[in-house]
Amino acid sequence: MEIERIRALRERALRELAEASTQEQLATWHARYLGRRGEITLLLRGLGSLAPEERPMIGRAANDLKEELQQAYVRQETAVRERELAARIAAETIDVTLPGRTPRIGTLHPVTQMIRDVTNIFAHLGFQVVEGPEVEYGYYAFDALNIPPEHPARDVWDTIFIESEHEEIVLRPHTSPMQIRVMERRQPPIRVVVPGRCYRYEAVDATHEWHFHQIEGLAVDERITMADLKGTLAEFARQLFGRERRVRFRCDFFPFVEPGVDFAIDCMFCRGEGCRVCGDSGWIEILGAGMVHPQVLRNVGYDPERYTGWAFGMGVERLVMLTYGVPDIRYFYQGDLRFLQQFDRIVP
């Protein structure tokens, strides 16, 4: 009877083992037949209840079955692992014949795009691009630019001061300090443009930010006149906004130039007829400019009887707003990808 029981146990165990196709099913089978409380273990523990003459034969048969099932389990486990591995590899296989996914290429920030556009135009007109410090001495930001401490124009800049025991230090309110720095280090002829970030302590609204970008321009040489300034700015405006643009110069005041002018173009949205963008005037002011004040030339050791020059300064964000019809300057610095992705010019 015990021999028949062992044979039946063998057939059942091997049949169930052959049907086990996952690691979980194999673990269940192993616990049922070869585990600490499995059927083979219980069979061996029950040998003591048999008659002495039956124990050797039944014990040998039980041990042989245990060894056979252990070997069969190892073979089946290996086969299951290989099938699972093959299935996982097949599922993860990359079909190299499929078209690739086009990666999303980043773009320049619209302000950076405009800085590059403007500086490239002036580079083709013979100007060199230079940069300067954003933390500046009061001397370069004001004094050397003909704006002494008692000058009323000094209050207009809404300057952000940095605490210092020895010298007046500010976050530069404009890029004009680089006029002085460049002229201190070089002798004419000078033709430079200076892009950079500026800071002012003022309320933020749709047209004002406490930090913004400017591009300063400076040309100094013998016999430079207002005609040179007008021709250069007119060519710049037509390259940036279109050859059909008309330009206008009107008198204005800036402490470091004399005479000073504001430079405007006819509105590209209404073609000079008047609209909301240009305030129904037909003109859009682009920048301020003028002939370098003789005192500024003296401050850097130039002889104003020999050298003349002109300078200009423009707000970069304003140019972007005019070019693309952006209604609020704050959009540029809110980090909203929906807004920035509209400026999809690819990085060169």
Angstrom distance (rounded) from CA 152 to CA 46: 111
Which member of 10, 181, 200, 293 is catalytic? 200
Which member of 76, 214, 292, 326 is catalytic? 214
200 is an active site residue: yes
Spell out the alpha helix ranges (H) of the chain. 2-19, 23-33, 39-45, 55-92, 110-124, 138-141, 177-185, 226-241, 294-299, 316-324, 337-340
Using an 8 Å Cβ cutoff, are 161 and 168 in contact? yes
Angle at 265 between CA 259 and CA 271, to 5 degrees: 155
Alpha carbon distances (Å) from 23 to 12, 72, 77, 150: 19, 15, 7, 87
Which member of 219, 292, 311, 326 is catalytic? 311
Cα diameter, the chain:
134
13 is an active site residue: no
293 is an active site residue: no
Which member of 29, 157, 283, 310 is catalytic? 157
Give the residue from 267, 224, 225 showing the smallest Cα distance to 245: 267
Encoded tokens for 70: 């252990």
223 is an active site residue: no
Spell out the alpha helix ranges (H) of 93-176. 110-124, 138-141
Which member of 30, 172, 174, 318 is catalytic? 174
Which member of 20, 192, 194, 257 is catalytic? 257
* Residues recognised as catalytic: 157, 174, 200, 214, 257, 311
